[in-house]
Chains A and B, each alone.
Chain A
Amino acid sequence: MKILVCCSSGLGSSFMIEMNIKKVLQELGIAGEVTHCDLSSAASHKSDIYVGTRDIAVQLEGLGGIVVSLNNMIDKVEMKKKLSEAIDKFNGK
């Protein structure tokens, strides 16, 4: 399972979210490949799940994966809930 995190610059927020996702995946005991990039190169990184903050997420629709939209990028509770839902969806549950 490939997870891609995007933000405008690909430097700050996407990297923070990536760290948060890695922590959550570890807690959930799920293996996954997590990377981050800037919005303009998102289309060239084919992924199963795309993650971004609310403003970014709308622009990730249509890339062919499941989109997770975050309100708060350092909130582990929100992340765990939304990521679990996306993973379930990915697994066809």
Chain B
Amino acid sequence: MTPERILLNVPCTDWEDALDKGAAPLLADKVIEESYVQAVKVNHREMPYMVIAKGIMLAHARPECGAHKIGLTLMTLATPIEFGNDLNDPVRLVITLATPDNKSHVKMLEALTNFLMEPELLEKFLSATTVDEAIGILKGDN
């Protein structure tokens, strides 16, 4: 994880704004096209299943929707946002994931899943105030 892919305590007005802000670093680095962000929104409108767990949104779409490389951003929200998933709202962490094919992202997703499945690590990450601190938590430094 590079520092510019971690966004902390970001103020967002609604879920669309949160998806835009989470995707911004990937757009800037040409990992994804704007069409990818739109595809994520369409997916989410159809079915809010990407709120994968309490407070966690895993924003992603198919590679052909405009993903060129693998990429991941982690964004914590300044205030929790309703995403329209009655079980897992409100969202506190928006993960934006891009993969150019069905395989490239497997290792990254595996590491991410292992991280998300540790509630203590996740809580620590959610309360991180500096990017250095957040990266340290991801690396398992503390």
Give how many B residues have a beta carbon under 8 Å from the other chain's beta carbons. 28
Which residues of chain A from 3 to 29 have any CB-CB distance to chain B below 8 Å in the complex?
7-13, 15-16, 19-20
Selected contact of A72 from candidates B52, B61, B97, B106, CB within 8 Å: B52
| Number of A-B residue pairs at CB separation under 8 A | 65
User: Cβ of B49 and Cβ of A74 under 8 Å apart?
Assistant: no
Q: What are some 19 contacts across the A-B interface (CB < 8 A)?
A: A7-B49, A8-B47, A9-B60, A9-B61, A11-B99, A11-B102, A12-B52, A12-B109, A13-B58, A19-B109, A20-B117, A54-B49, A54-B87, A56-B47, A56-B49, A71-B88, A72-B52, A73-B52, A74-B52
* B113, CB-defined interface residue at 8 Å: yes
Which residues of chain A from 38 to 73 have any CB-CB distance to chain B below 8 Å in the complex?
53-56, 71-73
Q: Which of B50, B53, B56 is the most central at the interface, judged by chain A CB atoms within 10 Å of its CB?
A: B53
User: Cβ of A12 and Cβ of B58 under 8 Å apart?
Assistant: yes
* B48, CB-defined interface residue at 8 Å: yes
The prevalent SS among residues of B at the interface is: mixed
Residues of A within 8 A of B53 (CB): 72-75
User: Cβ of B113 and Cβ of A74 under 8 Å apart?
Assistant: yes
Residues of A within 8 A of B47 (CB): 8, 55-56
Residues of A within 8 A of B49 (CB): 7-8, 13, 53-56
Q: Spell out A's residues near B (CB within 8 Å).
A: 7-13, 15-16, 19-20, 53-56, 71-76
Known contacts A11-B62, A11-B99, A76-B117; A55/B48 CB under 8 A: yes
Contacts A16-B113, A72-B87 supplied; 17 other A-B pairs, CB < 8 Å: A8-B46, A10-B102, A11-B102, A11-B105, A12-B97, A13-B50, A15-B109, A16-B52, A16-B109, A16-B116, A20-B113, A53-B49, A56-B49, A71-B87, A74-B52, A74-B53, A75-B53
